[in-house]
């Protein structure tokens, strides 16, 4: 009986293996395609994205998961993607584990993620403005700069002192007497609109900004207004403007419009030159 049991046991084992092979054909484990390497670098203040691509030649349904994620990093199982926006406090090294499971075999990939300091919009502004202030404006007491990014975020940077009597640093809240410097900004922005084809310098101003009552309002072009050849009266240099409580009055655009509409043009549009603040 002992001599019969061993051959019979071997037969049963072989039969079991055959049944398993028929029920479960040869399986190819999942293969990680992307990322190809194991070292990935990210930068602070900069959006981070990393696509995880896994292939399975058997077309098994794969389940991909990510483990040991820091708080700033998220895994999207639908897109099979890691994404996040690390801050300066998140600088450091991380080891991320990615697992791909086809239902029979689990493959693992380790990713070393290094987060280094990056240059945000604010950092770029601070560095550029500081360099410009030190190299180009050596005799300037103080200066301030501000930009608005396409997403509407406001970034400010300041250099120097707010006044010559103490060492108070300039802040974004300090006000400047800009006066006619605003004309330069306005002209530059209008030229940008011309570059984009949204308007032409010889278009009539009235087509964009109807100013009923202003002399020659329908004839004045954008070019003439920018070059002070429109003949519009200058309210700031007109004696009638400084009457009554003008020192303490808060002037509205409609007040300036009303004042100019009651005065004659200095000349026909394009027929002369006269600086105007109106």
In sequence order, the β-bridge partners of residue 143 are 159
Q: Which long-range contacts (CB under 8 A, 24 or more apart) does 208-214 make?
A: 211/257, 211/261, 212/261, 213/257, 213/258, 213/260, 213/261, 213/262, 214/257, 214/260, 214/261
Residue 239 has phi, psi (to 5 degrees) of -60, -30
Mean pLDDT score of the chain, rounded to an integer?
Answer: 86
Query: What structural domains and CATH numbers belong to the chain?
Result: 31-116 (2.60.40.10), 119-176 (no CATH), 177-278 (no CATH)
Strand arrangement of the beta sheet that strand 48-51 belongs to: 48-51, 81-84, 73-76
Q: What is the pLDDT of residues 213-251, one digit of tens each?
A: 889 989 999 999 999 999 998 988 888 888 888 888 888
Residue 97 pLDDT: 96
Could you tell me where the DSSP H helices lie in 38-180? Answer: 121-136
Could you tell me where the DSSP H helices lie in 158-252? Answer: 181-195, 222-226
CB 192, CB 200: distance < 8 Å:
no
**194 burial type by CB count under 10 A (0-12 exposed, 13-18 middle, 19+ buried):** middle
pTM: 0.51
Residue 239 pLDDT: 85
Residue 127 has phi, psi (to 5 degrees) of -70, -45
């Amino acid at each position: 009986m002992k001599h019969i049991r061993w051959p019979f046991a071997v037969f049963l084992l072989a039969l079991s293996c055959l049944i398993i092979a028929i029920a479960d054909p040869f399986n190819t484990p999942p293969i990680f395609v992307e990322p190809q390497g194991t070292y990935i670098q990210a930068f602070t203040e900069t959006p981070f994205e990393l696509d995880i691509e896994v292939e399975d030649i058997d077309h098994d349904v794969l389940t991909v998961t990510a483990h040991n994620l820091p708080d700033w990093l998220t895994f999207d199982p639908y897109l099979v993607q890691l994404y996040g926006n690390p801050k300066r406090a998140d600088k450091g090294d991380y080891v991320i584990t990615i697992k791909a499971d086809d239902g029979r075999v689990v493959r693992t990939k380790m990713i070393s993620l290094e987060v280094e300091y990056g240059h945000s919009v604010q950092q770029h502004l601070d560095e550029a403005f500081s360099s410009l202030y030190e190299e180009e404006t050596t005799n300037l007491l103080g200066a301030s700069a501000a930009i608005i990014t396409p997403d509407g975020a406001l970034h400010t940077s300041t250099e120097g002192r707010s006044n010559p009597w103490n060492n108070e640093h300039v802040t974004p809240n300090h006000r400047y007497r800009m006066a006619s410097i605003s004309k330069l900004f306005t002209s530059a922005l209008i030229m940008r609109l011309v570059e984009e084809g949204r308007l032409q310098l010889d278009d009539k101003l009235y087509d964009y900004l109807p100013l009923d009552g202003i002399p020659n309002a329908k004839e004045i072009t954008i070019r003439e207004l920018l070059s002070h050849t429109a003949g519009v009266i200058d309210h700031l240099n007109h004696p009638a403007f400084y009457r009554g409580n003008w020192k303490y009055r808060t002037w509205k655009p409609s007040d300036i419009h009303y004042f100019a509409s009651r005065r004659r043009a200095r000349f026909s549009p394009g027929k002369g030159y006269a600086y105007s603040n109106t």
